Amino acid sequence: MFSRSGVSERTFIAIKPDGVQRHLVGEIVRRFERKGFKLVGAVCCVQASEELLKEHYIDLRDRPFYGRLVKYMSSGPVVAMVWQGLDVVRMARTMIGETNPAESKPGTIRGDFCIEVGKNVIHGSDSVESAQKEISLWFHPEELMCWEDAAERWIYE
């Protein structure tokens, strides 16, 4: 996990059921690719189990919307991905926008494609620690690819 400019981190990104149903997968992947991040793991159209989702969202278990969130996330296929790059967790969160789409700036994924919090198209890890936890929940280590991206020399100093 090293790039020309030093240690590179990974983040977990999931396109939620509404994003899959609305055919936004290609557009979202394109944005991460155009930014210069490297896709190192993907599970397309997985039906997440309630057990996995309860563990994934365990930090929200005391919130009133927790049950609805788990039900919504298990209502259809999701696309689970691991992206790698310099400062990818922070930069991905910026690209995604605010949890509440009404507070998201135009040009962000949620700012461009969402209206309500309950249907906000995409999940992104909020810290390096949560990214590591989420990646380990959704992927086995052998499912993550280490590959040399020829474009890195044009992205990193």
Is 10 marked as a binding-site residue? no
Is 110 marked as a binding-site residue? yes
**What backbone phi and psi angles, to 5 degrees, belong to 3?**
-115, 180
How large is the C-alpha radius of gyration of the chain?
Answer: 15
Please report how many Cα atoms fall inside a 13 Å half-sphere around the Cα of residue 62, on the Cβ side. 1
Q: Residue 138 in contact with residue 79, Cβ under 8 Å? A: no
Is 63 marked as a binding-site residue? no
Is 11 marked as a binding-site residue? no
User: Could you tell me which residues come within 8 angstroms of residue 9 by beta carbon, excluding any fewer than 6 positions away?
Assistant: 1, 84, 85, 86, 87, 88, 89, 128, 131
Annotated catalytic residue, options 23, 56, 123, 140: 123
Structural tokens at position 36: 């210069």
Is 120 marked as a binding-site residue? yes
Is 4 marked as a binding-site residue? no
Cα distance between residue 31 and residue 70, in whole Å: 27
Q: Is 123 a catalytic residue?
A: yes
CA 19 to chain centre: 12
Residues in binding site for ATP: 16, 65, 93, 99, 110, 120
Annotated binding site: 16, 65, 93, 99, 110, 120
Active site residues per annotation: 123
